[in-house]
Amino acid sequence: MNIRNFIKDLKSKDHKPQFSALDIFKYIGPGLLVTVGFIDPGNWAANIATGSEFGYTLLWIVTLSTIMLIILQHNVAHLGIATGLCLSEAAAIYVKPIASKFVLYSAMLASVSTSFAEILGSAIALNMLFSLPLELGALMTAALSGIILFTNSYRKIEKWIIGFVSIIGISFIYELYLIDVPWAHAAKSWVVPSIPEGSIAVIMSVLGAVVMPHNLYLHSEVIQSRQWNLKDDTIIKRQLKFEFTDTLISMIAGWAINSAMIILAAATFFSSNIKVEELQQAQQLLKPLLGDSASIVFAIALLFAGISSSITSGMAGGTITAGIFKEPFNISDNHTRLGIGISLFLALIIIFFISNPYKGLIYSQVILSIQLPYTIFLQIYLTSSKKVMGKYVNDKFTLTILLTTAAIVSYLNIKLLINFL
């Protein structure tokens, strides 16, 4: 599969599409692939812990982190649209080999760490639903994700992800229907920052888990499935506009789902003075509070979150590895296949041989925290280079916003790393 084959055909014909008001719906999709990265099992654990310990007070973290995510994802999508290159390809082409290889190899390590958390999350869900051993659940998740990636076209994968995200969203709508939520208090907490005593570590963990390195590489690649003609400035500008709409809608969907997790935990566990630290504990406690159906729906949503995020982390691994060789993501190419295999199956091996999977989750987040600043500053360097971006280079205002966002994210991730150590 090469998601750019049709682009080359259209360029060779100098195709110029006729845009209509409904064309925006043709562009919805790439952003949702990114969305699953910040509604993954790692975020579930952080959100449930946040809501159970601090109630609705820290909902503003979800709003702030989503704003930062929109800024970074929108910017990296610009790179893909304006240059026809993903972040990994651009790094290999425009950055000195020593520096680019360091960042990209570390990004692959981050992709493996991400896949580890996603596959383990699905395994936990299967254990909740069917009492399957974690190792067997992990094997089933990795196998399913690999099959979907190796046998489906990009468009089919996108439809799978949209379906998974829809199931997750519907699950939480059902969960919220079962509880009594003080919406006025929740609405205020979404926009008014408050830092309760002892909440700094939780704030850093939630913020640090939202912006993930593999999503930046992935978005710059998959956005190119919507390209028409890189030579026509009118078309490129319209693509940039449509991309922002796609990113905004998708990130708002992620914001809503993450918020729903905290609200659910606040309305059930916080109100009952129950502090939840593990996903299995949350599922077990939901049963007496909301009934059997609520705990089953919770586990089903977690299962689909793990599967969908495993697929996207595998895609990211393929994108990064192909980019190292200055190639686009192409499922027919050995470099793409190698990246997917490394990301999914190395993660699976770690699950089989690690003595404490839950401690492994902590270490996986540490790896992400170490790598993320390198990817963000690589992105800013490339999108701020006129040689790379041409007339679509970052202006001074955009650069200031990006550097401020990068500084905040880097600081929080460094603090998170120090906290873990």
**Domain CATH for 368:** 1.20.1740.10
- DSSP SS3 for 230: coil
In a domain, 91, yes or no: yes
In a domain, 5, yes or no: no
The mean pLDDT value for 137-153 works out to 90
Q: Supply the pLDDT for residue 25.
A: 55
pLDDT band per the 50, 70, 90 thresholds, residue 292: confident
Contact 115, 314 (CB under 8 A): yes
pLDDT band per the 50, 70, 90 thresholds, residue 282: confident
Strand partners, 2: 330
Q: Which of 145-149, 349-353, 355-359 has the lowest mean pLDDT?
A: 355-359
pLDDT band per the 50, 70, 90 thresholds, residue 130: very high
Q: Is 190 exposed, middle or buried (0-12, 13-18, 19+ CB in 10 A)?
A: middle
The mean pLDDT value for 351-366 works out to 76
- Give yes or no for residue 16 having a pLDDT over 80: no
Mind listing the pLDDT tens digit for each residue in 220-273?
Answer: 998 876 555 566 677 777 777 788 888 998 899 999 999 999 999 999 999 888
The mean pLDDT value for 325-345 works out to 94
In a domain, 7, yes or no: no
φ/ψ of 2, rounded to 5, equals: -125, 110
- Give yes or no for residue 1 having a pLDDT over 60: no
In a domain, 14, yes or no: no
pLDDT band per the 50, 70, 90 thresholds, residue 384: very high
Q: Supply the pLDDT for residue 15.
A: 43
Q: Which of 5-14, 110-119, 177-186, 306-315 has the lowest mean pLDDT?
A: 5-14
Number of domains into which the chain is organized: 1
Q: What is the percent of the chain with per-residue pLDDT over 90, rounded to a whole number?
A: 48
The mean pLDDT value for 53-75 works out to 93
- Give yes or no for residue 160 having a pLDDT over 90: no
Give 94's contacts (C-beta < 8 A, 6+ positions apart): 382, 385, 387, 388
Supply the DSSP string of 68-122, one letter for each residue. HHHHHHHHHHHHHHHHS--HHHHHHHHS-HHHHHHHHHHHHHHHHHHHHHHHHHH
The mean pLDDT value for 317-326 works out to 96
Q: Supply the pLDDT for residue 17.
A: 45
pTM for the whole structure: 0.86
- Give yes or no for residue 29 having a pLDDT over 80: no
- Domain holding 111, by residue range, is 22-420
Q: Supply the pLDDT for residue 63.
A: 94
In a domain, 10, yes or no: no
Q: Supply the pLDDT for residue 185.
A: 93
- Give yes or no for residue 382 having a pLDDT over 90: yes
pLDDT band per the 50, 70, 90 thresholds, residue 19: very low
Q: Which of 11-25, 142-156, 210-224, 388-402 has the lowest mean pLDDT?
A: 11-25
The mean pLDDT value for 16-34 works out to 60
Q: Supply the pLDDT for residue 72.
A: 95
In a domain, 282, yes or no: yes
What's the number of CA atoms in the CB half-sphere (13 Å) around residue 259? 23
Please count the helices (runs of H) and the strands (runs of E) in the chain. 19, 0
The mean pLDDT of the chain is 85
The mean pLDDT value for 19-33 works out to 62
Q: Supply the pLDDT for residue 157.
A: 78
- Give yes or no for residue 208 having a pLDDT over 70: no
Phi-psi region of 212 (alpha: psi -120 to 50; beta: other; left: phi over 0): beta
In a domain, 9, yes or no: no
In a domain, 13, yes or no: no
- Give yes or no for residue 358 having a pLDDT over 80: no
